[in-house]
């Protein structure tokens, strides 16, 4: 795909997904199918073969194909029936992407808009004064596995999930007040009833933008001073590339990764201001400076710091490290599905080597700060 065509595709995709209709269409595809089946290189979703779904699936396929040229989106009629199958295929990880998207949109992770969801939100807002504040926060990092970690934690019988995984209260909505924040968490009578029956529950949320926002630590101290803080970090090279692929996919980026990354490095070396760390590939991976802001406010014993790599390689052991930190019994999950993961091409070796060299001193500063090392190269 040439540069002009790719740019047009990104603009098309961006206008589609950022519109209310586009977002609704995408969520409909991932939540209103009749059946799912696995394919060797992806998954297939079954839909009615009528004019309404013909139009939805056509638009979905056209836009996603433009944004993800290394994947395939194809509608296949079912023999001798009025149904069709949407085949989503591609490189390794495509099947997990489809199943993960369905999981996120049909759970508390990122609930799809619906009449039921709107009624639920009205109810929790009316009862916010009867609700608890969180016992733990997953504070980041972005594109480091916070979604998967939170999903795993909420499968523990002693963890009550929030109404939504990410609240963005301490960075974006702090002015709404703590009662608004309580709306996302379970009711006090429910928690008390569980405790009376010998089952103490903890609850919390996971907003990865908290890590790099310097305003957040003191706001957290003001509202929940004794909260347990969990940070999951990822090799900053891989995190940068993952975030870049996300931005490229949603039409927010058009430059090659090397150009975009080096632009940030030049800005850093020139001491230029870059306040948008939420979408920063390189600066967002300078974890030492971000954690320093937190550790000026909270003691080290209130933190548990993990790596994405140990969660991927040793999921049960890592999860039980979290449970021990929270004072909960250990448990084992049978399956670990990565959520919010999307397949994309590998990073070019030369660029990877350059970024590894850039991040090395910053990683060493992190390891010294937290008193532990990660195997990042």
How many angstroms separate the CA atoms of 373 and 350, rounded?
A: 25
How many angstroms separate the CA atoms of 33 and 46, rounded?
A: 6
Give the model's pLDDT for residue 1. Answer: 32
Asked: is 112-370 a CATH 3.40.50.300 domain? The reply is yes
The full set of domain ranges for the chain reads 3-99, 112-370
Given a cut of 80, whether residue 337 has pLDDT beyond it is no
Structure tokens at 272: 């230029």
CB burial readout 279-297, b (16+ within 10 A) else e: ebbbbbbbbbebbebbbee
Per-residue confidence band for 247, with pLDDT thresholds at 50, 70 and 90 = confident
Per-residue confidence band for 3, with pLDDT thresholds at 50, 70 and 90 = very low
Average pLDDT (236-240) is: 96
Average pLDDT (301-308) is: 98
Higher-pLDDT residue of 337, 101: 101
Average pLDDT (290-305) is: 97
Give the model's pLDDT for residue 67. Answer: 77
Give the model's pLDDT for residue 10. Answer: 52
How many angstroms separate the CA atoms of 87 and 72, rounded?
A: 8
Give the model's pLDDT for residue 17. Answer: 53
Give the model's pLDDT for residue 342. Answer: 80
> What mean pLDDT, rounded, does the chain reach?
90
Give the model's pLDDT for residue 254. Answer: 82
How many angstroms separate the CA atoms of 129 and 187, rounded?
A: 9
Classify strands 303-307 and 228-233 as parallel, antiparallel or unpaired.
Answer: parallel
Average pLDDT (199-210) is: 96
pTM given for the model? 0.87
Give the model's pLDDT for residue 282. Answer: 93
pLDDT tens by residue, 151-160: 999 999 999 9
Average pLDDT (302-310) is: 97
Smallest CA-to-CA distance from 326 within 304, 307, 295 is with 304
Average pLDDT (117-138) is: 89
Range scoring the smallest mean pLDDT among 112-121, 229-238, 347-356, 361-370: 112-121
Average pLDDT (200-205) is: 96
Residue 233 near residue 374, CB atoms below 8 Å: yes
- Dmax (CA) for the chain in angstroms is 67
pLDDT tens by residue, 136-156: 999 999 999 999 999 999 999
Structure tokens at 349: 């070796």
Give the model's pLDDT for residue 4. Answer: 34
Higher-pLDDT residue of 13, 169: 169
pLDDT tens by residue, 22-71: 788 889 999 999 999 999 999 999 999 999 999 999 999 988 888 788 89
Give the model's pLDDT for residue 12. Answer: 54
How many angstroms separate the CA atoms of 263 and 258, rounded?
A: 8
Smallest CA-to-CA distance from 236 within 199, 201, 193, 288 is with 288
How many angstroms separate the CA atoms of 138 and 303, rounded?
A: 10
How many angstroms separate the CA atoms of 77 and 57, rounded?
A: 12
How many angstroms separate the CA atoms of 166 and 56, rounded?
A: 28
């Amino acid at each position: 795909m040439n540069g002009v065509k790719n740019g047009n595709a990104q603009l098309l995709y961006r206008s589609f997904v950022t519109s209310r209709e586009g977002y609704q269409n995408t969520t409909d595809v991932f939540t209103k199918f009749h059946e799912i089946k696995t394919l060797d290189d992806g998954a297939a979703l079954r839909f009615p073969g009528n004019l309404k779904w013909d139009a939805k699936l056509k638009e979905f396929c056209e836009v996603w194909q433009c944004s993800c040229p290394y994947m395939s989106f194809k509608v296949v009629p079912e023999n001798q029936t009025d149904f069709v199958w949407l085949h989503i295929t591609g490189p390794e990880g495509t099947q997990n992407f489809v199943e993960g998207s369905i999981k996120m949109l049909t759970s508390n992770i990122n609930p799809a808009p619906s009449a039921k969801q709107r009624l639920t939100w009205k109810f929790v807002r009316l009862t916010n004064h009867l609700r608890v504040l969180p016992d733990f926060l997953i504070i980041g990092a972005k594109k480091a596995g916070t979604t998967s970690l939170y999903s795993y934690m909420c499968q523990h019988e002693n963890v009550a999930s929030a109404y939504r995984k990410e609240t963005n209260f301490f960075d974006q909505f702090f002015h709404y007040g703590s009662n608004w924040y309580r709306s996302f968490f379970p009711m006090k009578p429910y928690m008390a009833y569980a405790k009376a029956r010998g089952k103490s529950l903890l609850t919390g949320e996971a907003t990865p933008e908290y890590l790099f926002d310097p305003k957040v630590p003191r706001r957290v101290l003001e509202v929940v001073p004794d909260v347990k803080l969990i940070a999951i970090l990822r090799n900053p090279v891989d995190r940068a590339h993952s975030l870049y692929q996300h931005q490229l996919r949603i039409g927010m980026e058009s430059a090659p990764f090397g150009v975009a990354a080096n632009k940030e490095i030049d800005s850093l070396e020139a001491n230029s201001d870059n306040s948008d760390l939420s979408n920063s590939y390189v600066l967002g991976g300078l974890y030492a400076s971000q954690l320093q802001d937190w550790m000026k406010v909270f003691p080290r014993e209130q933190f548990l710091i993990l790596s994405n790599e140990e969660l991927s390689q040793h999921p049960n052991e890592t999860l039980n490290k979290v449970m021990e930190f929270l004072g909960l019994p250990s448990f084992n999950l049978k399956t670990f599905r990565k959520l919010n993961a999307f397949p994309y091409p590998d990073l070019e070796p030369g660029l990877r080597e350059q970024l590894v060299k850039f991040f090395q001193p910053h990683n060493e500063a992190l390891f010294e700060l937290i008193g532990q090392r990660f195997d990042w190269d």
